[in-house]
Amino acid sequence: MSARGDQRVLVVDDEPDIIDLAAMYLGSEGFLVSRARNGKEALDQVRADPPDLVILDVMLPGMDGWEICRRLRASSDVPIIMLTARGDPIDRVVGLELGADDYIVKPFHGRELVARARAVLRRARGEPAADATDVAVHVGDVTIDPARREVHVASTSVDMRAREFDLLLYMARNEGLVQSRDQLLERVWGYDFLGDSRTVDVHIAHVRSRIAASETVRIDTVWGVGYKLVVDK
């Protein structure tokens, strides 16, 4: 990933006005912006010269944004922000399930796009939250090392995306305590995230799959409230 100040963003949209708006605001904040009008252009650019961030429209001609996201995730961890003109939360959840890091609903303000881009890139760099410490957390047969951004389940290293890592770490630090979706959005996603609680459900499902090999640690659903991390003694 590029050093701060020269981060490169690929904007994928078939509407020139949207690309121009994104390029104007991102460019004014020091981002280097490249453009793609369809899925093939986007995938070719990422393969040839991977950007630091992809801003990806859902409704594209031919190959839609969901399929592009799926293909990118098959070979890359590049952060992805989805753009959608639809108001249905299910559409947003689909993108998150495919591995997108955030989403923005059109029409959007350029400053919101810049704020989201900065937040996603900050998380991708693994910058810790203000209350984080570097002390490793051990729960059952799961070890979470904030300093190295590493997770081991039953002594086996497990790859986790930035948000999944942060979610598991927070829940492990609050072992046994029920966390509502709103609490998790506030403490893990932060005030810069304007999403809905379904985002939490999607990421909990991802974390559960990552630690599925654990014989002692699980995340329980507390119906009507939220989730808690449980360790079998």
In the chain, domain spans: 8-124, 137-231
pLDDT of residue 87: 60
Handedness of CA 48, 50, 51, 57 (dihedral sign): positive
pLDDT of residue 16: 92
Going from the C-alpha of 156 to that of each of 139, 152, 227, the distances in angstroms are 14, 5, 25
Q: Are 68 and 56 contacting, i.e. CB atoms less than 8 angstroms apart?
A: yes
pLDDT of residue 126: 66
Successive 10-residue mean pLDDT values, the chain, 233 residues = 69 93 92 94 94 94 92 91 76 78 84 86 66 76 91 94 91 91 82 66 94 96 93 85
Report the C-alpha gap between 72 and 99 in whole angstroms: 9
Identify the CATH assignment for 8-124 out of 3.40.50.720, 3.40.50.2300, 3.40.50.1360, 3.40.50.740.
3.40.50.2300
In degrees, rounded to 5, the angle at the alpha carbon of residue 180 between the alpha carbons of residues 177 and 183 is: 95
Q: Which residue intervals of 29-141 are DSSP H helices?
A: 39-48, 65-75, 89-97, 110-124
137-231 is a CATH 1.10.10.10 domain: yes
pLDDT of residue 3: 43
